[in-house]
Structure 1
Amino acid sequence: MSTVHRILIEETSARQRLDSVISRTLGLSRNRVQHLVVAGLVTRAGTPLTSNSHITQTGETYEVRLPPVATDSTMEPNYDLALAIVFEDDHIMVLNKAPGTVVHPGNNTGNNTISHALIAHCGDNIRSVGSDKRPGIVQRLDKDTSGLMVVAKTADAYYFLSQALAEKKFVKEYTALLWGVPRTMNGVVNANIRKNPIARDMMEVSKFGGKPACTEYIVERTFGDIASQVRCILHTGRTHQIRVHMSYIGHSIIGDQKYGKNDRKSSRCGIPEVRNFKRQALHASTLKFQHPNTKKQLSFSSAPSVDIAHIIEVLQTHQDANATKP
């Protein structure tokens, strides 16, 4: 059965392409939205729109009729991948993702992903929630990033959470270990991010084009001049945003193999455990959002994963030892 979603255009979504706004708000691919428009399934005041490049205006309301999602029956459930469930009800799940775990299928992942484990845990109904290759996935974390993420178990929950995410109604905070110490103990990085035109699996800061990206950071702890523990607050949700922004200000994340210039920086560190840490020391520590059914504000927190906690302990021990030297 088709579902209808109403999108009210607020100032933050005005003067933008319609397909872009719908894609961002409902968590759909741009290609799928464009097919919906062509099929006459997007209307304004009862009249179907015919152009994907239509520009939105403040106060307008659009109706998007979504046919049932064609499910991918080839995705085999993975009963062996354990899910660390922080919260679950009939509508949503909050998971504490382990480092090294892939969220959804990609090249050479097989069925060793959270998406496949969700099918095993929730049954076939979740196959029709969201994207066919990413059932239930509202937000994703990089393979080597650990921490909190929310999953939708119903279509209504998926679209509610996707819209809340697009409207920046989520609070997402991360714990990161950085090389060195930023010059200011707190700050905001406002720098557009775009896909790297040469290395297509990487993002980069761009002064010309790209999408607006904003990361707030607060230095919570320092370990001499070697490293710092920082709380990063996302005000936008671009791919690899924290990793790119921290590298941009000259304090990349310890262990980041993609953006960290890790070999050069780690070579200056005399602590083997820190020098040889091989995944970005980044953990999704806080997640706050409104429940899609009860509308109650939910808040979840997660301590750094075991491997990051060990690095923090090692850094603190090293600093304490240096402090006692004459």
Structure 2
Amino acid sequence: MFEKKIFIQNGEENKRLDKFIAFKLNISRNKVQQLIQNNKIYLFNKIVKDNNHTTKINDLYHINIPIQEHHFSIVPNINIPITVLHEDQDIIIINKAPGLTVHPGAGTKNDTLVNGLVAHYGSSLSYIGKASRPGIVHRLDKDTSGLMVIAKNEHSYYFLSDLLLKKQIKKEYIAVVWGVPNPRDNIIKNHIDRKSNNKQMMTVTHSKNKGKLAITEYNTTKIFANIASLVKCRIYTGRTHQIRVHMSHIGNSIIGDQKYGKNESKAIKYAEKSTIINTLKRQALHAHKLGFIHPTTNTYIEFNSDIPKDIQTLLNELEQLTGA
């Protein structure tokens, strides 16, 4: 049994309990409802029996979560490439390859990062989150490469999920975008929601009542004439496709992005002189820095990942193309 305590602070009152706990602990709402049905959630010393229970300031909840037996409904796949940069008894830091989906879903079952993690680590992963995502605290898009932290036990999973919720995990990316951002350094702050006519895509919405708040800080570090720019992006929220949507929204979509590209004319013009731009198989986006407080030592740790070969090749060619 694993116990988690949640203290209701100012601004967290009048929330439906099952939704609130699911959000706080990064687990499914259905799982929270099962915990309520099984008398595993207490308000102070009294069992909570109602899914519709609402929170009040200064409430203290005790959630007793049974540690599940590790049955592998996920098919292990030893052929999935996993590059480990750091590992200890609590966490694994990996450098995810581009083209690799993080966890099983519709159309992708046996060839994901999770299939590889199960093959290499099995029961040493945290199984406290969603059943299809053992150890997964946060995700990267399939065609985005770079750093991820994997939780190996329940304490680490909840500790890191809490840091994520409080925006205390430093996540920095490098991206190669079309054109030159104006201004060159800025913070983009707006709401992102799913497109009404295409649920697989996200879009900026100008209504605060729709979508979720998304905050991206970007800094332009190099300009290749007026063709393209190298930018560093730090995200303070973790919305689906956030950087890709934000850079596209300001008119500087990421080179190679097939979903959110808005600069086809530049792509056509310069692809004729290029051996990489029109053949790049993914968006030029890489999670290159990850920093957080360690779940056990309580010290800040930070990891860096070099620019991958395909993006470096793109940068080299842009330099030659523009004489930068």
TM-score using structure 1 length: 0.91
What is the root-mean-square deviation of aligned Cα atoms in Å?
2.1
1:286 paired to 2:289 = yes
- 2: CA distance, partners of 1:265 / 1:223: 13
Total equivalences in the alignment: 320
1:319 maps to 322
- Write the mapping of 1:143-158 to structure 2, written as runs, cut at 5 A: 143-158=142-157
**Aligned equivalents of 2:244, 2:61: Cα separation in 1:** 36
CA apart distance, 1:109: 2.5
Map 1:263-282; keep pairs closer than 5 Å.
263-270=264-271, 271-272=273-274, 273-282=276-285
Q: Deviations over 1:42-85 (max 9, x none)?
A: 32222333454555445433222212336442322211223100
Mapped to 2, the partners of 1:119 and 1:160 lie a distance apart of 21
Using the TM superposition, give the Cα deviation of residue 234 of structure 1 relative to its aligned residue in structure 2, in angstroms: 0.6
In structure 2, relative to structure 1, the CA distance for the partners of 1:227 and 1:122 (3 Å cut) is same
- Aligned partner of 1:20 in structure 2 is 19
- Give the whole-Å Cα distance in 2 for the aligned partners of 1:214 and 1:38: 37
Cα 1:233–1:127, aligned 2, differ >3 Å: closer, same or farther?
closer
SS in 2 for 1:261: coil
Summarize deviations over 1:25-52 as a string: whole Å, max 9, x none.
Answer: 2110223223333444332222333454
Hey, what does 1:224 align to over in structure 2?
Answer: 225
Residues 37, 248 of structure 1: alpha-carbon distance in 2 compared, 3 angstrom cutoff: farther
Question: C-alpha distance in 1, partners of 2:265/2:315?
Answer: 21
Residues 182-193 of structure 1: matches in 2 within 5 Å? 182-193=181-192
1:281 Cα deviation after fit: 0.7
Distance 2:57 2:220 in 1: 38
Q: Give the Cα separation in 1 of the matches to 2:232 and 2:179.
A: 15
Give the 3 Å change call, closer, same or farther, for CA 37–129 of structure 1 in structure 2.
closer
Measure how far apart 1:118 and its partner are: 1.1
- Unmatched runs of 5 consecutive residues or more in structure 1: none
Distance across 2 between alignment mates of 1:38 and 1:262: 53
Residue 114 of structure 1 corresponds to: 113
CA contact (8 A) 2:40 2:64 kept: yes
Report the counterpart of residue 159 of structure 1 in structure 2.
158
Shift of 1:158: 1.1
Amino acid paired to 2:107: N
Change (3 A) 1:125 1:196: same
Identify the residue that residue 30 of structure 1 maps to in structure 2.
Answer: 29
Counterpart amino acid of 1:73?
A: F
Distance of 1:72 and 1:166 partners within structure 2 = 29
Q: How has the CA–CA distance of structure 1 residues 102 and 72 changed in structure 2, closer, same or farther, with 3 Å as cutoff?
A: farther
Corresponding residue of 1:302: 305
Structure 1 residues 203 and 28: alpha-carbon distance in aligned structure 2, compared to 1, 3 A threshold: same
Give CA-to-partner distance per residue, 1:161-184, whole Å, 9 cap, x none.
111111111010110111111111
**Secondary structure in 1 matching 2:298:** coil
Q: Distance in 2 between matches of 1:316 and 1:18?
A: 54
Name the structure 1 match of 2:77.
78
Q: Contact 1:7/1:63 (CA < 8 Å) preserved in 2?
A: yes
- Residue of structure 2 equivalent to 1:205: 204
Asked whether the equivalents of residues 126 and 151 of structure 2 are also in contact (C-alpha less than 8 Å), the reply is no
Deviation digits for residues 2-30 of structure 1, max 9, x if unmatched? 21101233446455443333223211022
**Contact 2:70–2:123 (CA under 8 A) maintained in structure 1:** no
Task: Please state whether the residue corresponding to 1:294 is helix, strand or coil.
Answer: coil
Sequence identity percentage: 42
Q: Is the 1:257–1:278 Cα contact (8 Å) retained in structure 2?
A: no
> How far, CA to CA, are the matches of 2:16 and 2:138 in structure 1?
23
**Which moved further from structure 2: 140-149 or 288-297?**
288-297
How many Å separate the matches in 2 of 1:154 and 1:53? 30
Structure 1 residue aligned with 2:137: 138
CA distance in 2 between partners of 1:170 and 1:227 (Å): 29
Report the AA paired with residue 293 of structure 2: Q
Aligned AA for 2:222?
R
Cα distance change on mapping 1:185 and 1:42 into 2, 3 Å: same
- Kept after mapping to 1: 8 A contact 2:76/2:118: yes
Q: 2:42 matched to which residue of 1?
A: 43
Ranges in structure 2 where 5+ consecutive residues have no aligned partner: none
Q: Write the mapping of 1:56-75 to structure 2, written as runs, cut at 5 A.
A: 56-69=55-68, 71-75=70-74
In structure 1, what residue type is equivalent to 2:192? I
